[in-house]
Amino acid sequence: MDTPPSGPLRGIKVLEMGQLIAGPFAAKTLADFGADVIKIEPPGSGDPLRQWRLLHEGTSVWWQVQSRNKRSVALDLRQPEARELVRRLIDECDVLIENFKPGVMEAWGFDHATLARSNPGLVMLRISGYGQTGPNRDLPGFGVVAEAMGGLRHLSGEPGRVPVRVGVSIGDTLASLHGVIGVLMALHHRHATGQGQVVDVALYEAVFNCMESLLPEYSAFGVVREAAGSALPGIAPSNAYACADGWVLVAGNGDSIFTRLMDAIGRGDLARDPALVGNAARVARVAEIDDAIGAWTARRTVSDVLDALKSAQVPAGRIYTARDIAEDPHYRARGMIESITTADGLTLDVPGIVPKLSATPGAITRRAPTLGEDTEAVLREVGVSDAQLQALRERGIL
């Protein structure tokens, strides 16, 4: 698979200098929609993500998703000559993405003010734990720490028990998506003015931005929201309920939905109880409502519960595993599972493209690259000759 890029970002060139998750996920999202993403990696080892989790022929299958539609250039940035090559690449790019600790880019001479002298339209996305300013600026920051500082970890898990992490690197991903939003807004501004800018994304701020009513409730009422397990505090009923063979999620928190739900479980008395009209009234009696739903689901299989609630038009769903996702026809119908072939010949199912654009959809046009696969081709594009490439190889810069 190697077809010309397509999509709304075709013609936008991106240089990715990040590693692992936050920066590369942002670049992957831009690449999915046609941006030409050039990824800089250290020779020999490459991005550490290449070795994370389950490997096939020595390379992570996660890598095949995170680095699709990208080109890999291997350069040893400890060498001044390598940094000069990167500078030439930056001068040709629209967007520069980095997720190093603040100060690293400045030490290399890659601060935005310096870069903008020769590329005034450059948009620079900087993702870090705490942002480029503030008293925590220089602290090392990973997504899991950001999730804690952003307020998410305190709400995760069962009341009174150890706060648990979400099973994926959600803090990094949220920061990535905020970064993509910032890049697109900055490109829109550049279209009008010709001027680039810095997009400064802090991991903890991206998490905090998704914390809904957490802060205003504390500000107005002094309420510190606590963990609530599978329930949704202040919204009723919305919970996970045990079935004879598993668990099911039920969201019956709309007035008309609640009525249909109670009728479906044989509790017409609750459906027509005037004291249960409105969400606030249901919240006050949420334990009673949850007990009624739980008693009904406990005597039925997940499939039986879902069939009954589907007929009643009540939002409900099973808790999906990877197997459930792979076998679900709706995922396939929406193009959310695509099949690729990796560089080592593995046929692999991977997530499709999100979001769905009607006129300019994204696409997987290139498999994830091997380390340094595109180094010479990319450097030739900025005028490096074959003789210069040979000299760079001999000095161990490539």
Q: What distance in Å separates the CA atoms of residue 87 and residue 67, rounded to the nearest whole number?
A: 22
For residue 244, the SS3 value is coil
Amino acid at 40: I
What are 11's two structure tokens? 């013609």
Token pair 């698979």 is found at 1
Token pair 């017409």 is found at 268
Amino acid at 176: S
The one catalytic residue in 172, 291, 304, 349 is 172
Q: What distance in Å separates the CA atoms of residue 26 and residue 281, rounded to the nearest whole number?
A: 43
111 is catalytic: no
Which uninterrupted H or E stretch holds 26? helix 22-32
DSSP code of residue 2 = B
List alpha helices for 150-222, DSSP H: 152-155, 170-193, 203-208, 214-221
Token pair 């020595």 is found at 58
Residues 230/157, Cβ–Cβ less than 8 Å: no
Helices (H) and strands (E) in the chain, counts: 19, 13
For residue 212, the SS3 value is coil
Residues 92/59, Cβ–Cβ less than 8 Å: no
Burial call 215-224: b when 16+ CB within 10 Å, e when fewer:
eeeeeeeeee
Query: Do the bridges between strand 70-74 and strand 36-41 make them parallel or antiparallel, or are there none, so unpaired?
Result: parallel
What are 130's two structure tokens? 């705490």
Best CA proximity match to 142, nearest among 66, 216, 221, 204 = 204
Q: What distance in Å separates the CA atoms of residue 359 and residue 107, rounded to the nearest whole number?
A: 43
Question: What phi, psi does 316 have (nearest 5°)?
Answer: -160, 160
Token pair 């005037």 is found at 274
Residues 175/118, Cβ–Cβ less than 8 Å: no
Would you please indicate which residues are annotated as catalytic (active-site) residues?
172
